[in-house]
Structure 1
């Protein structure tokens, strides 16, 4: 099943397709956070690009990160509403390509509901990539299907630090459609 969501931001709208068949637990966690109101009054607060030092990182990335905010000291464990197993790209077959949405994490399965969207292909975030020292990579669970210009506009809000001083509001995230792909009867 694919779930489509509409994300209204201060830079415009994006439509994303969430891949429930490939990443069922990560999609469900995102929808549970959405249902719990975790994304109300949040922003894209972290805009990381190749100009940022990205201290301690084995590989530089280019992403926009939104949802509940964390800072360089980490996140508030109270924001972690649900336990979730880590669904790495090696399990789902999904990749950190341009427009991919993935669940933010610190340790595998430790998510506070934050998410990031890749601005360009980011293979170093995939399982086996250099970004995560544990080698497990991130948990991609969907893809931007409309609104790439909005993603570009959000990325333009980067500041001198990866934690932007010009955060982009997330006005709303709503489920607009869930559908199953079915094979017609008699089809091979």
Structure 2
């Protein structure tokens, strides 16, 4: 009887622990610099995330990756010498579901420099959910100053040339959605893969 009670308690404890760690922090929990591969229709990009400086943001991003929520999304906004933005819409321009918005970690010391990856947000500094962008310039204006900035949470390690090619695609105003800077031919993020630790 005691062993049965112990087994039940173990199952309950394990179940509770599993639920408590479904926020991305459980993914390579001891790795402060997890790496991910973006598999796109224009090539692969490998990014090293900085969980040491941006733990909330990295865990949030990994949670979407773990749920396969970035699969078959589009890069919907490309502004040459500024940003390549994606992660929020599927190929039919339908907005993907999001978890709750996260705390802005833009004061972490990481800068919006060329090829760094950053969370997109609305005017509210703490409104980032799932969209991200790659900096295609040294975007100092996006760093914190008198106001909150945009949270950088990693840097490109391989695939710079892929981003350079993306930045050169033809874009236009999309009258259906009222958006500017939309690629005329879709660039699809087929999936994001969490790579083994180095």
2:76 aligned to 45, 48, 69, which one?
Answer: 45
CA contact (8 A) 2:44 2:162 kept: yes
SS at 2:195's partner residue? strand
Runs of at least 5 residues in structure 1 that lack an aligned partner in the other structure: 51-61, 129-133, 180-188
CA distance in 1, matches of 2:170, 2:149: 24
Query: Is the strand fraction higher in 1 or 2?
Result: 1
SS at 2:61's partner residue? helix
1:63 aligned to 63, 83, 86, which one?
Answer: 83
Q: Which residue of 1 aligns with 2:35?
A: 4
Count how many residue pairs are aligned between Structure 1 and Structure 2: 156
Query: Is the helix fraction higher in 1 or 2?
Result: 2
2:149 aligned to 118, 137, 142, which one?
Answer: 137
Q: Which residue of 1 aligns with 2:17?
A: none
CA distance in 1, matches of 2:101, 2:127: 7
1:108 aligned to 125, 129, 136, which one?
Answer: 125
Q: TM-score, normalised by structure 2?
A: 0.72
CA contact (8 A) 1:38 1:68 kept: no
Runs of at least 5 residues in structure 2 that lack an aligned partner in the other structure: 1-31, 173-179
Q: How does 1:69-108 map to 2 (within 5 A)?
A: 69=89, 79-88=97-106, 91-106=107-122, 107-108=124-125
CA contact (8 A) 2:101 2:129 kept: no
Q: Which residue of 1 aligns with 2:65?
A: 34
Structure label with greater radius of gyration: 2
RMSD value, Cα: 2.1
The structure with higher relative contact order (CA 8 Å, sep 6+) is 1
Q: Which residue of 1 aligns with 2:23?
A: none
